[in-house]
């Protein structure tokens, strides 16, 4: 039988030879240290770590090349091993090389005891973790910078582990939502804080499915300080095979910015005299109207308005226009659209069956028959209306032109009345 088949029966000389080989050729630093903390022996990797030639290592105390700020913690553990309270320890510390450069190391120290159980020496394994510590410091620096940046804004971070479907907010975002003592929120509790009308904007499904890698959402969030508009940047992280792994997001309060944007948009879409929509505003709001059984577009023109301007001046004419706007708004539903096209011309959009638009036209004509007080004077201004109904959204300008033609017919018939027409799309396919 081959003696090599029985490692336990190897001679002491053979075991020592194997130890020496491993000691000398180990890819990490290895050092033998006596009970006084002096180097008895070190390999090449250890010599390079401390920057001391192997011929000069023997007898050098490890305190000589340990950073002063790290020495006390190392010595405390070293003494605990000597006292029998532990058999070894691991510690991170810094070596100071003769040229003054520093190297970060992770040391694993094991006691080598004699037959009586006393420590005879120590065996240390030393890893160079300088690169790791550098990355750690860089990450800490970036985290600190990010923390400072987040202190300047209101909001915070959240993340979602896709495989486990686990969502969690950061402490800062939880505090922003619920106050200093608030716990982190899971997805259900976070979505409960989102305005129900904005839940579609907060949807993460495209990211979860991996159809997009990043997106931006804007939604209203219930917070300790009331409802806030949040802008949320979301980004998908994938695994090595390209599968969705993690979604990270940052939600930032941009309520004031949103208000300014809304004010600017409102100003650009509003007639400054009457507060009604202008032509741009009408087009934009018409596009956003929800599905309906149809839409009526009514063209309104004032009868006798020129006489008011000629007799009482343009300021009086402006008062008539403002009062007309009030009466038009009272004649429609809150969801309908009222626009001043210019001068004394208006456009109204009413959703629903043709009868809804025709009812609006009739109410407008009736409303404008009441006299309008202009200072001490009272003026009579009437309205003529042409209204066209369609079962499908089409070009608003074309619908307005058709309403204008009906308006002209009503004027030719004597004014102070309304005319209605219908244009219906004929489906070519049953599925249309």
Q: Alpha-carbon distance 149 to 146, whole Å?
A: 5
Q: Alpha-carbon distance 8 to 15, whole Å?
A: 10
Question: Which has more pLDDT, 290 or 28?
Answer: 28
> Is residue 281 over pLDDT 80?
yes
Q: Of how many residues is the chain composed?
A: 432
Give this prediction's pTM: 0.50
The mean pLDDT value for 349-374 works out to 95
> Is residue 430 over pLDDT 60?
no
The mean pLDDT value for 383-387 works out to 97
Q: Alpha-carbon distance 202 to 156, whole Å?
A: 15
Delineate the domains of the chain, giving CATH numbers in brackets: 10-133 (3.30.450.20), 153-258 (3.30.450.20), 270-423 (3.30.70.270)
Q: Are 89 and 109 in contact (CB under 8 A)?
A: yes
Residues contacting 413, CB < 8 A, separation 6+? 419
The pLDDT tens digits of the residues spanning 282-336 come to: 999 998 888 788 999 999 999 999 999 999 999 999 999 999 999 999 999 999 9
Q: What is the SS3 assignment for 157?
A: strand
The mean pLDDT value for 216-228 works out to 93
The pLDDT tens digits of the residues spanning 402-417 come to: 999 999 999 999 999 9
Residues contacting 32, CB < 8 A, separation 6+? 39, 40, 41, 42, 121, 122, 123, 124
Report the pLDDT value the prediction gives residue 293, as an integer from 0 to 100.
87
Annotation marks residue 69 as catalytic: no
> Is residue 153 over pLDDT 80?
no
Q: Are 354 and 422 in contact (CB under 8 A)?
A: yes
Set 318, 344, 391, 416: catalytic member: 344
């Amino acid at each position: 039988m081959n003696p090599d088949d029985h490692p336990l029966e190897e001679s002491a000389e053979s075991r020592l030879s194997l130890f020496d080989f491993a000691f000398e050729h180990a890819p990490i630093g290895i050092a033998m240290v006596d009970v006084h903390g002096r180097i008895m022996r070190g390999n090449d990797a250890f010599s390079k770590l401390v920057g001391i030639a192997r011929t000069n290592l023997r007898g050098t105390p490890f305190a000589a090349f340990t950073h002063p700020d790290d020495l006390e913690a190392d010595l405390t553990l070293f003494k605990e091993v000597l006292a029998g309270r532990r058999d070894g320890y691991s510690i991170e510390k810094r070596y100071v090389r003769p040229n003054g450069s520093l190297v970060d190391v992770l040391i694993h120290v094991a006691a080598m005891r004699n037959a009586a159980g006393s420590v005879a020496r120590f065996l240390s394994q030393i890893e160079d973790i300088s690169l790791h510590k550098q990355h750690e410091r860089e990450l800490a620096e970036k985290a600190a910078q990010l923390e400072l940046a987040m202190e300047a804004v209101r909001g915070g971070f959240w993340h979602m582990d896709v495989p486990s479907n686990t969502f969690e907010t950061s402490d800062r975002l939880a505090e922003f939502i619920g106050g200093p003592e608030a716990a982190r929120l899971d997805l259900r509790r976070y979505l409960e804080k989102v305005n129900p009308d904005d839940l579609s904007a907060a949807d993460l499904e495209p990211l979860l499915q991996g159809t997009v890698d990043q997106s931006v959402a804007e939604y209203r969030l219930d917070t300790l300080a009331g409802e806030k508009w949040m802008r949320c940047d979301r980004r998908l992280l994938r695994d090595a095979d390209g599968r969705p792994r993690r979604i990270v997001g940052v939600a930032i309060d941009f309520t004031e910015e949103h208000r300014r944007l809304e004010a600017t948009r409102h100003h650009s879409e509003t007639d400054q005299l009457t507060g009604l929509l202008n032509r741009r505003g009408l087009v934009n709001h018409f596009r956003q109207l929800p599905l309906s059984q149809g839409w009526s577009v009514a063209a309104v023109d004032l009868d006798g308005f020129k006489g008011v301007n000629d007799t009482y001046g343009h300021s009086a004419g402006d008062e008539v226009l403002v009062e007309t706007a009030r009466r038009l708004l009272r004649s429609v539903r809150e969801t309908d659209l009222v626009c001043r096209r210019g001068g004394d011309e208006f456009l109204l959009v009413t959703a629903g069956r043709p009868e809804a638009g025709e009812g609006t036209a009739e109410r407008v004509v009736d409303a404008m028959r009441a006299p309008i007080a202009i200072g001490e004077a009272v003026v009579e201004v009437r309205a003529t209306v042409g209204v066209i109904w369609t079962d499908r959204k089409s070009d608003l300008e074309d619908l307005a032109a058709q309403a204008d033609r009906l308006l002209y017919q009503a004027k030719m018939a004597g004014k102070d009345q309304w005319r209605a027409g219908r244009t219906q799309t004929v489906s070519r396919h049953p599925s249309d």
